[in-house]
Homo-oligomer: A and B are copies of this chain.
Amino acid sequence: MCNERQEQDPGKFRDQIRQGKWQKSTSGACPGYVQANLVILPREFALDFTIFCLRNPQPCPIIEILDPGNPIVQEAAPDADIRTDIPKYCIFKDSKLVEERTEITNLWRDDLVTYLIGCSYTFEEALVRGGVPVKNYLQQKDPGVYISSVMCRSAGVFWGPMVVTMRPIPGHLVARTVQITSRFPKAHGAPVHIGNGEPIGITHLEKVDFGEPPVIDRGDVPVFWGCGVTPQLAAMKSKVPFMITHKPCHMFITDIKIEEMAIS
């Protein structure tokens, strides 16, 4: 969360992270800048994983893929080092979380391919600026996250359900919410479902799979978006022998301004 001592420039903020001075959530950090989910996989799995993401662009919008073996970001944050510039990493072996770390320098290999995948922090900020009160954002909480019954389109070994986030939106602002988030396809874009969650297998909104249970006020409509946990879950189900991700909420902060990412 934002605090007084926090750097608001992405480069300086990443310096803090690299020096081990910031190991917390990046929610609310560097307002106005795009944050990204991280997935790192061996090259052997990269083509199939890329096709999986392209077939499921709402949960898995690719911001950037780094060249195989290269840990230095090219476009989203030139010269950022993906091995050190994220507050916390999760290390998976044979689909099991085996370790959390604050840097992965000595785990790096020449066959690793890095994916930066869009994150809903970006559109939450755009919604609030656009007059839509996103309760979890304003209360500095995570949204409710649910494993839906909608299956992703598979690709090679990668398959799994679409994971979604839900935010309760007042009925008169649902159209505005669609308009604003449609401008950001690289941050999950437009909602995947609006209204009662039953058709997508979500019957009890208070029972979240991840994140925090939502506060639903009278007149709120549930609005669901694809979630960046989807590709991680697919990689775990696929039994990839080795994967590194960010720890949830501990994102990579890019140099891309949110408005630079809007498509219109």
Contact = CB atoms under 8 A, between A and B. Distances in A.
Interface in A67-114: 67-68, 74-75, 113
A240 to B, nearest CB: 15
A168 to B, nearest CB: 24
Interface stretch (A45-53, A119-127, A159-167): A45-53
A179 B264 CA distance: 8
Q: A-side binding surface: helix, strand, loop or mixed?
A: mixed
Task: Give the size range of A's interface with the partner.
Answer: 20 to 34
A51 B68 CA distance: 10
A193 interface: no
A264 B182 contact: yes
A62 B54 contact: yes
Nearest to A68: B47
A10 interface: no
A64 B183 CA distance: 22
A251 B74 CA distance: 34
A263 interface: yes
A237 interface: no
A65 B75 contact: no
A75 B264 contact: no
A65 B54 CA distance: 8
26 contacts: A43-B47, A47-B50, A47-B68, A47-B113, A50-B54, A50-B65, A51-B65, A51-B67, A54-B62, A54-B64, A55-B64, A55-B75, A67-B155, A67-B156, A68-B156, A74-B153, A75-B153, A179-B264, A182-B263, A182-B264, A183-B264, A185-B185, A185-B263, A189-B263, A263-B263, A264-B264
Given A46-B47, A51-B65, A179-B264, 16 more contacts: A43-B47, A47-B47, A47-B68, A47-B113, A50-B50, A50-B51, A50-B54, A54-B62, A55-B75, A67-B155, A67-B156, A74-B153, A182-B263, A185-B185, A185-B263, A264-B264
